Chains A and B, each alone.
Chain A
Amino acid sequence: QSVLTQPPSVSGAPGQRVTISCTGSSSNIGAGFDVHWYQQLPGTAPKLLIYRNSNRPSGVPDRFSGSKSGTSASLAITGLQAEDEADYYCQSYDINLSHSKVFGGGTKLTVL
C-alpha cells in the first residue's frame, strides 16, 4: 500500500487530454512538500518528467504539465501520442516515515 495513491490505469485516444492524480495526506503533499513525476517507458529506467510540482526539465515537451493543490497533485498530458504509453509515478516526502522519499503506486497510461 503506497503512501501516495494513484489510479492503476488511465487511457485516452491520440490527441486527447488525460490527467493522472496523486493523492496524499497531511504528512506529505498536504504538509507542503513538493511533488515530482517520472515517466517509465517499457523496459527502461524512470525519467524525470516534472519536478517541484510544475517544472519541466529541458527536453520534456510542454504537452506535459503538473499541478498541486491541498493534499493532491496532478499530471496532465495534452495532445496524447502513442509514445506517451508508459507508467507514470509521483514522488514526494513524508514526515511520518523518518523523512522518507515516497512514491505513488504508479499509473499505466494506455493510448487507444
Chain B
Amino acid sequence: QVQLQESGPGLVKPSETLSLTCSVSDYSISGGFYWGWIRQPPGKGLEWIGSFYPGGTTYYNPSLKSRVTISVDTSKNQFSLRLNSVTAADTAVYYCAREPYSSSTNWFDPWGQGTLVTVSS
C-alpha cells in the first residue's frame, strides 16, 4: 500500500525559502497518477498548493504561483516543494498526497502524515 512521508526543516526564517520533500514508498511515482502538495495553517482549512504529472504539466495555485516550485526526482521516488520569500502567513502543516483522477477532477488519496513548518525569526 502506497505511503507518503514529508520531511524538511520545521523552522524557516522570514524571507527565506521553505523546502520540503515527499518520499513515496511501495508505489512508483511514474506509475500513472498525479501528485500534489496541500497545506493547512494552524486551526484553519485546507489550501491546495500545486500538482504535477510525471513527464507532464505542473499546476500551481494562482495565489502562490509566483513563489512556488514543485520538482520530481523519479530515481529517488521523491518530489519536492520550494516556497520562496516566506512570511508568517506561510506557517502551516504541509501535506503531500497522491492524486487519482478522472476526466472531471483529481482527488487526494492517500495523504502523508504532514509536517509543521513555522516561519519565525
Q: Would B111 and A47 count as touching, CB distance under 8 A?
A: yes
Contact with A along B109-121 (1 / 0, CB 8 A): 1111110000000
Partner of A34, one of B51, B61, B104, B110: B104
Interface residues on A, range: 20 to 34
A44, A46, A57, A93: the one contacting B46 at CB < 8 Å is A46
CB-CB under 8 A from A36, the residues of chain B are 105, 107-108
From 20 to 37 in chain A, residues with beta carbon under 8 angstroms from any chain B beta carbon are 32-34, 36
Besides the known contacts A52-B104, A52-B105, A57-B109, 18 further A-B residue pairs in the complex with CB atoms under 8 A apart? A34-B105, A45-B95, A45-B112, A46-B95, A46-B111, A48-B109, A51-B107, A52-B102, A91-B46, A91-B107, A93-B105, A93-B106, A98-B59, A99-B59, A100-B48, A100-B62, A103-B48, A106-B46
Q: In terms of DSSP, what is the predominant structure of the interface of chain B?
A: loop
Q: Which of B62, B104, B106, B114 contacts A45, CB < 8 Å?
A: B114
Q: Does A102 contact B (CB under 8 A)?
A: yes
| Docked pose: A42 CA to B84 CA in angstroms | 30
- Complexed CA–CA distance, A89 and B107 (Å): 12
Min Cβ gap A18→B in Å is 19
Contact B108 A91 (CB under 8 A): yes
Check if B109 sits within 8 Å of A51, measured CB to CB.
Answer: yes
Those of A60-97 within 8 Å (CB) of chain B: 89, 91-93, 97
- Please give, as numbers and ranges, the residues of chain B lying within 8 Å of A89 by CB-CB distance: 45-46
List, in ascending order, chain A residues with CB within 8 A of B51's CB: 101
14 contacts between A and B (CB under 8 A): A36-B107, A38-B46, A38-B108, A45-B112, A45-B114, A46-B46, A46-B111, A57-B109, A89-B45, A97-B61, A98-B62, A99-B59, A100-B59, A102-B48
Known: A46-B108, A46-B111, A48-B108. A105 touches B48 (CB 8 A): no
Q: Are A104 and B105 in contact (CB under 8 A)?
A: no
Taking CB atoms, residues of chain B closer than 8 Å to A103 are 45-48
Q: Take A100-B48, A102-B48 as given contacts and tell me if A45 and B109 are in contact as well, using a CB distance cutoff of 8 Å.
A: no
* Binary interface encoding of chain A residues 1-33 relative to chain B, with 1 for a CB under 8 A from any of its CBs, else 0: 010000000000000000000000000000011
The 4 A-B pairs of least Cβ separation, nearest first, read A48-B109, A36-B107, A101-B48, A45-B111
